[in-house]
């Protein structure tokens, strides 16, 4: 029988859902934190080094000042992210004195490894720009981040899967970023751009929580009979933000770009449906209400790039970026009158209090180098691209889980663009190499979620210890059509 979730469990469930959703929501910041790589078929072909050299509709993500050089054009691309991961959980098993609660013996239990995978889901970019004035280009764009929407098994070798308290599935999530942008060229060697954006969509997640009372008087925290299967939904999510940038051309062979992006402030409602435990205390239990408010922030970022154009055929750029994932320190969940009714040993009506879920992410740095070389092919032109990106992890080792797998990453990429008159056809292949991580179960810090508050044990049940490995391959195709370019104002005499 499907029953609605215990009050606090629902609140925590929605909070966890929000935590996952941030991994799928796009922020112009790029790949650090919860994103697998830089995005866009052409920019990714350059390794994400597309800050100073931004000159088409892909610039709205990297530096909106580059929109000016897109002129009047339309862009569409789509990429498939093949994500895979493996997790071998390890946890501390403690024997305690039944009278004092003191630990008298402990050991490490290792579970069977589990693998996560993502479904086939092309991730698009769609943009259009036009020229209302020779010195202005205005555009709109719709895009989604490159993230792994992972699914993990519910069972492993006939037993409940060891990662079930972190994640089972993210399928059913539909998230995207839409924006309006404008770029202005007051002189031939200067471009200034800005945009306003909205993250919008819905997010769904399936996860397992524990209905075991924390004092462990009559149950164990991972006893299957006390498991609660939760289907979480957050949305509609509408989160505003904005970006801005500048490109300066001090010499025909050199371009310098600087851009920044404000945080996304996520404030949304959520709902959840659950199957309560089969354990006896929940035999007559039910949930009243299902609404909660969720709040968290996604990072601001800043990018700096220098592109060299030694000749008409070669372009090479070095770019640096910082993303302040430290703003994502917690997820705040406020249940709206959610209550658990008729749980044995609890008040008849148990109202869930506000919940603060610690995330404790950290700032991430990245460096990318890449470029493209133009080769004449009859009346056409072939651009050959290549790039390499390195970034540090935004998730401290002790907070890594299958919900937020992140590590230092190295991403090589190759790509190409074929110009046929006003049409450019693009291709990219990139592979994100994520360094394996080992989370010592004695240092891991993600506790098991339980909606019931009683006398908490001296040591919470930690669920994210163990070893993690993951990788992602991105394959993308795209096309752009250019109708015409803008013409910046001429420099004043003597300038």
Mean pLDDT of 8-27: 33
Q: Do strands 409-420 and 423-439 pair parallel, antiparallel, or not at all (unpaired)?
A: antiparallel
* SS3 (DSSP) at 106: strand
**Binning pLDDT at 50, 70 and 90, where does residue 30 land?**
very low
**Binning pLDDT at 50, 70 and 90, where does residue 213 land?**
low
Share of the chain above pLDDT 70, in %: 86
**Tokens matching residue 211:** 């209905």
Q: Tell me, what DSSP letter sits at residue 161?
A: -
What are the b/e assignments for 393-416, b being 16+ CB within 10 Å? bbbebbbbbbbbbbbebebebbbb
Q: Tens digit of pLDDT for each residue in 409-460?
A: 999 999 999 999 999 999 999 999 988 999 999 999 888 877 665 555 567 7
Higher pLDDT, 405 or 438: 438
Q: Does position 293 have pLDDT exceeding 90, yes or no? A: no
Alpha carbon distance 319, 141 (integer Å): 23
Contact criterion met (CB below 8 Å) for 109 and 90: yes
pLDDT of res. 217: 60
Q: Is 102 exposed, middle or buried (0-12, 13-18, 19+ CB in 10 A)?
A: exposed
pLDDT of res. 97: 62
Query: Any idea which of 103-107, 188-192, 291-295 has the lowest mean pLDDT?
Result: 103-107
Q: Is the peptide bond before 274 cis (omega within 30 degrees of 0)?
A: no
pLDDT of res. 214: 59
**Binning pLDDT at 50, 70 and 90, where does residue 27 land?**
very low
pLDDT of res. 100: 60
Mean pLDDT of 293-303: 88
Which residue carries 């994400």 as its tokens? 48
Distance of CA 90 to the CA centre of its chain: 26
CA angle, corner 125, sides to 370 and 28, nearest 5?
Answer: 65
Higher pLDDT, 120 or 83: 83
pTM for the model? 0.84
Q: Does position 7 have pLDDT exceeding 50, yes or no? A: no
Alpha carbon distance 334, 94 (integer Å): 34
Q: CB-based contacts of 226: which residues, under 8 Å, 6+ apart?
A: 210, 211, 212, 219, 220, 277, 279
pLDDT of res. 11: 33
**Binning pLDDT at 50, 70 and 90, where does residue 380 land?**
very high
Mean pLDDT of 222-247: 87
Q: Tens digit of pLDDT for each residue in 128-180?
A: 999 999 899 999 999 888 876 678 888 888 889 999 988 888 777 777 899 99
Q: Does position 406 have pLDDT exceeding 50, yes or no? A: yes
Element (H, E) at 18: helix 7-24
pLDDT of res. 132: 94
DSSP H stretches of helix in 2-118: 7-24, 41-45, 59-62
Mean pLDDT of 403-408: 85
Q: Distance of CA 126 to CAs 171, 178, 275, 311, Å?
A: 23, 9, 40, 31
Alpha carbon distance 67, 140 (integer Å): 10
Q: Does position 37 have pLDDT exceeding 90, yes or no? A: no
């Amino acid at each position: 029988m499907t029953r609605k979730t215990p009050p606090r469990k629902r609140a925590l469930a929605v909070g966890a859902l929000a935590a996952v959703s941030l991994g799928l929501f796009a922020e112009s910041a790029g790949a650090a934190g919860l994103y697998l790589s830089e995005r866009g078929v052409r920019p990714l072909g350059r390794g994400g080094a597309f800050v100073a050299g931004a000159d088409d509709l892909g610039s709205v993500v990297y530096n909106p000042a580059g929109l000016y050089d897109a002129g009047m054009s339309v862009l569409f691309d789509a990429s498939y992210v093949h994500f895979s991961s493996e997790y071998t959980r390890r946890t501390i098993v403690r024997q305690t004195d039944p009278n004092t609660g003191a630990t008298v013996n402990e050991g490490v239990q290792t579970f069977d490894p589990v693998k996560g995978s993502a479904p086939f889901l092309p991730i698009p970019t769609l943009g259009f720009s036009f020229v209302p004035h020779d010195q202005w280009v205005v555009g709109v764009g719709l895009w989604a981040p490159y993230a792994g929407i992972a699914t993990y098994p519910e069972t492993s070798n006939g037993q409940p899967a060891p990662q079930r308290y972190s994640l089972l599935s993210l399928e059913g999530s539909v998230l995207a970023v839409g924006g309006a942008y404008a770029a202005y060229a007051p002189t031939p060697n200067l471009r200034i751009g800005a945009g306003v954006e909205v993250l919008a969509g819905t997010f769904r997640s399936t996860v397992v929580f524990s209905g075991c009372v924390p004092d462990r008087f009559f149950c164990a925290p991972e006893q299957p009979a006390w498991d609660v299967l939760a289907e979480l939904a957050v949305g509609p999510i509408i989160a505003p933000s904005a970006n801005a940038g500048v490109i300066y051309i001090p010499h025909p062979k050199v371009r310098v770009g600087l851009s920044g992006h404000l945080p996304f402030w996520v404030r949304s409602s959520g709902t959840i449906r659950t199957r309560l435990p089969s354990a006896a205390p929940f035999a007559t239990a039910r949930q009243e209400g299902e609404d909660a408010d969720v709040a968290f922030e996604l990072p601001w970022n800043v990018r700096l790039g220098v592109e060299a154009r030694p000749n008409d055929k070669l372009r090479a750029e070095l770019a640096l970026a910082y993303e302040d994932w430290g703003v994502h320190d917690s997820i705040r969940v406020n249940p709206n009158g959610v209550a658990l009714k008729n749980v044995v040993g609890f008040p008849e009506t148990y109202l869930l209090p506000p919940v603060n879920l610690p995330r404790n992410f950290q700032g991430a740095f990245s460096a990318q180098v890449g470029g493209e070389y133009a080769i004449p092919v009859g009346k056409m032109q072939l651009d050959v691209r290549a790039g390499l990106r390195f970034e540090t992890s935004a998730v401290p080792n002790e907070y890594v889980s299958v919900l937020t797998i992140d590590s230092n990453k190295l991403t090589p990429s190759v790509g190409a663009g074929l110009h046929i008159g006003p049409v450019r056809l693009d291709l990219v292949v990139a592979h994100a190499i994520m360094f394996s991580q080992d989370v010592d179960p004695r240092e891991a810090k993600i506790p098991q979620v339980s909606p019931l508050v009683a006398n908490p044990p001296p040591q919470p049940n930690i669920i994210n210890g163990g070893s993690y490995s993951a990788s992602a391959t991105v394959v993308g195709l795209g096309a752009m059509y250019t109708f015409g370019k803008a013409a910046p104002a001429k420099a004043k005499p003597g300038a």
